[in-house]
Structure 1
Amino acid sequence: MTAFHPPAGRLGPARRPLPVLILLLGLLPGLAQGEPSIRISDVGDEITDNIRAHMGLSREGCDLPEWRERPLLRAADREIRSALRALGHYEPRFTLDFQRNEACWSLQVDLEPGPPVRVRSLDLRVIGEAEQDPAFDELLQSPPIRPGDRLRHDRYEQIKSGLNRQATARGYLDARIATSQMRVDVQEQAADLVVHLESGPRYFLGPVTLEQDTFHDRLVRKFIPFEQGDVYDSRRLISMQQAFMNSGYFSDVRVDPRADEAEDLEVPIHITLTPRNKWSYLAGIGASTDKGPRVRLGVENHRANRAGHRYNAELEVSAVNTRVGIGYEIPLGDPARERINLTAGYQSESTDTSESDVYGLGIAHLRQLPSGWIQTRSLVFEREDFKVADVRDSTTLLMPGFQMSRVQADHPIFPRRGWRLNFSLRGASEELLSSISFAQATGRARYIMPLGEGRLLLRADAGTTSVQDFAKLPASIRFFAGGDNSVRGYGYQKLGPTNDDGDIIGGRHMASGSIEMDYPFADQWSVAVFADGGNAFNDLNEWNARYGIGAGVRWRSPIGPIRVDIAHPIDGDDNFRLHLTMGMDL
Structure 2
Amino acid sequence: MKIVKESFLFAIFGILLSLFSSLISAATVVVSISGTESEIQENILAHLGTVDSEELKQSAVLQRRIGAAVEAALQALGYYHSKWSTQIQQDRITVQVDPGEPVIIVESDVRVLGGAQSIAEIRSLVAAAGLKVGTRLKHWEYDQFKRKLADLCAKYGFLDSRFEQSELLIDPETNQATVRLVAETGSRYRFGDVVITGSKMSDKLLGRLIPFSRDQLVENQLIIQLRRNLAKTGYFSHFQVNTHKQPDHRVDVLVGLQDNTSHYFDVGVGYSTDTGPRFKFGWRWPSVTSYGDALQSNFEVSEPKQTVAFAYRVPASDPINQSFDFDTSWQHKNVENTKTQVTSLGVSFNNRRKSNWQHRYSINLDYERYQVDESEIEDVFYLVPGARWTRSEIAEGIDPDSGYFIRFGIEGSHPAIGSDTTFAKGFISARWLTRLWTERWLMLVRGQLGAISADNINEVPISRRFFTGGDQTVRGYEFESIATRDDDGDLVGGRYLNVASAEMSYRFLTSWRAALFFDAGRAYSEQEEPLFTSVGPGIVWLSPVGQIRLDLAFPLKGDDAGNPRIHISMGGGL
TM-score, with structure 1 as normaliser: 0.78
Residue 559 of structure 1 aligns to which amino acid in structure 2?
V
Q: Aligned-residue CA RMSD in angstroms?
A: 2.9
Partner of 1:511: 498
Comparing 121-130 with 224-233, greater Cα deviation is found at: 121-130
Partner of 1:502: 489
Asked if structure 1 preserves the Cα contact closer than 8 Å seen for 2:533 and 2:555, the reply is yes
Partner of 1:409: 394
Q: 1:481 to 1:42 in 2, by over 3 A?
A: closer
Asked if structure 2 preserves the Cα contact closer than 8 Å seen for 1:430 and 1:437, the reply is yes
Partner of 1:254: 240
Q: Secondary structure at the match of 1:258?
A: strand
> Structure 1 CA distance, aligned partners of 2:230 and 2:208?
10
Q: Secondary structure at the match of 1:44?
A: helix
User: Does residue 471 of structure 2 align to residue 487 of structure 1?
Assistant: no
User: Does residue 320 of structure 2 align to residue 336 of structure 1?
Assistant: yes
> Structure 2 CA distance, aligned partners of 1:502 and 1:360?
29
Partner of 1:366: 350
Q: What do the CA deviations read for 1:174-218 (whole angstroms, capped 9, x no partner)?
A: 212234344556665222323222222111122111122231222
1:400 deviates by 0.7
Structure 1 gaps, min length 5: 1-36, 51-83, 94-111
User: Does residue 543 of structure 2 align to residue 557 of structure 1?
Assistant: yes
> Structure 2 CA distance, aligned partners of 1:552 and 1:148?
56
Partner of 2:455: 468
Residue 446 of structure 1 aligns to which amino acid in structure 2?
R
Comparing 469-478 with 117-126, greater Cα deviation is found at: 117-126
Residue 398 of structure 1 aligns to which amino acid in structure 2?
L
Residue 450 of structure 2 aligns to which amino acid in structure 1?
G
User: Does residue 314 of structure 2 align to residue 296 of structure 1?
Assistant: no
1:87 deviates by 7.7
User: Does residue 378 of structure 2 align to residue 378 of structure 1?
Assistant: no
Q: 1:85 to 1:560 in 2, by over 3 A?
A: closer
User: Does residue 561 of structure 2 align to residue 577 of structure 1?
Assistant: no
1:152 deviates by 5.3
Q: What do the CA deviations read for 1:333-374 (whole angstroms, capped 9, x no partner)?
A: 111011111111110000115210111111111011222211
> Structure 2 CA distance, aligned partners of 1:555 and 1:38?
31
Asked if structure 2 preserves the Cα contact closer than 8 Å seen for 1:124 and 1:140, the reply is yes
Higher radius of gyration, 1 or 2: 1
Q: 1:500 to 1:133 in 2, by over 3 A?
A: same
> Structure 2 CA distance, aligned partners of 1:196 and 1:264?
25
Q: 1:436 to 1:231 in 2, by over 3 A?
A: same
Question: Which one scores higher on RCO, CA 8 angstroms, separation ≥ 6?
Answer: 2
Q: Secondary structure at the match of 1:285?
A: strand
Aligned pair partner of 1:324 in 293, 308, 311: 308
> Structure 1 CA distance, aligned partners of 2:65 and 2:435?
34
> Structure 1 CA distance, aligned partners of 2:277 and 2:80?
68
Percent identity reads 30
1:275 deviates by 3.3
1:276 deviates by 3.6
Q: What do the CA deviations read for 1:78-121 (whole angstroms, capped 9, x no partner)?
A: xxxxxx9988577899xxxxxxxxxxxxxxxxxx9985422245
Residue 457 of structure 1 aligns to which amino acid in structure 2?
L
> Structure 1 CA distance, aligned partners of 2:297 and 2:504?
38
Partner of 2:48: none
TM-score, with structure 2 as normaliser: 0.80
Q: Secondary structure at the match of 2:229?
A: helix
Q: What do the CA deviations read for 1:201-245 (whole angstroms, capped 9, x no partner)?
A: 111122111122231222122111111111111111112211211
Partner of 1:525: 512
1:558 deviates by 2.8
Instruction: Count how many residue pairs are aligned between Structure 1 and Structure 2.
Output: 496
> Structure 1 CA distance, aligned partners of 2:496 and 2:65?
66
> Structure 2 CA distance, aligned partners of 1:297 and 1:423?
29
> Structure 2 CA distance, aligned partners of 1:252 and 1:144?
44
Structure 2 gaps, min length 5: 1-59, 84-97
Q: Secondary structure at the match of 1:542?
A: coil
Q: How does 1:82-101 map to 2 (within 5 A)?
A: none
Partner of 2:10: none
> Structure 2 CA distance, aligned partners of 1:329 and 1:153?
53
Q: Secondary structure at the match of 2:225?
A: helix
> Structure 2 CA distance, aligned partners of 1:496 and 1:90?
69
> Structure 2 CA distance, aligned partners of 1:41 and 1:489?
50
Asked if structure 1 preserves the Cα contact closer than 8 Å seen for 2:432 and 2:444, the reply is yes
Asked if structure 1 preserves the Cα contact closer than 8 Å seen for 2:338 and 2:490, the reply is no
1:161 deviates by 3.6
User: Does residue 117 of structure 2 align to residue 131 of structure 1?
Assistant: yes
Residue 464 of structure 2 aligns to which amino acid in structure 1?
I
> Structure 2 CA distance, aligned partners of 1:364 and 1:393?
28
1:329 deviates by 0.9
> Structure 2 CA distance, aligned partners of 1:454 and 1:495?
31
Q: How does 1:50-199 map to 2 (within 5 A)?
A: 115-120=101-106, 122-136=108-122, 139-143=125-129, 150-151=136-137, 155-182=141-168, 188-199=174-185
Partner of 1:352: 336
Residue 424 of structure 2 aligns to which amino acid in structure 1?
A
Aligned pair partner of 2:425 in 440, 452, 460: 440
Partner of 1:285: 269
Partner of 2:46: none
Partner of 2:22: none
> Structure 2 CA distance, aligned partners of 1:351 and 1:344?
23
Q: Secondary structure at the match of 2:498?
A: strand
Asked if structure 2 preserves the Cα contact closer than 8 Å seen for 1:254 and 1:272, the reply is yes
> Structure 2 CA distance, aligned partners of 1:514 and 1:208?
52
1:497 deviates by 2.1
Q: What do the CA deviations read for 1:481-525 (whole angstroms, capped 9, x no partner)?
A: 211111111111221222223333211110101111222122222
Residue 578 of structure 1 aligns to which amino acid in structure 2?
I
Partner of 1:545: 531
Partner of 1:10: none
Residue 533 of structure 1 aligns to which amino acid in structure 2?
A
Asked if structure 1 preserves the Cα contact closer than 8 Å seen for 2:260 and 2:287, the reply is no
Q: Secondary structure at the match of 2:415?
A: coil
Partner of 1:17: none
Comparing 277-286 with 184-193, greater Cα deviation is found at: 184-193
> Structure 2 CA distance, aligned partners of 1:88 and 1:473?
71
Q: 1:464 to 1:263 in 2, by over 3 A?
A: farther
Q: 1:45 to 1:362 in 2, by over 3 A?
A: same
1:45 deviates by 2.0
Q: 1:484 to 1:454 in 2, by over 3 A?
A: same
Asked if structure 2 preserves the Cα contact closer than 8 Å seen for 1:393 and 1:472, the reply is no
1:172 deviates by 0.7
Q: 1:149 to 1:489 in 2, by over 3 A?
A: farther
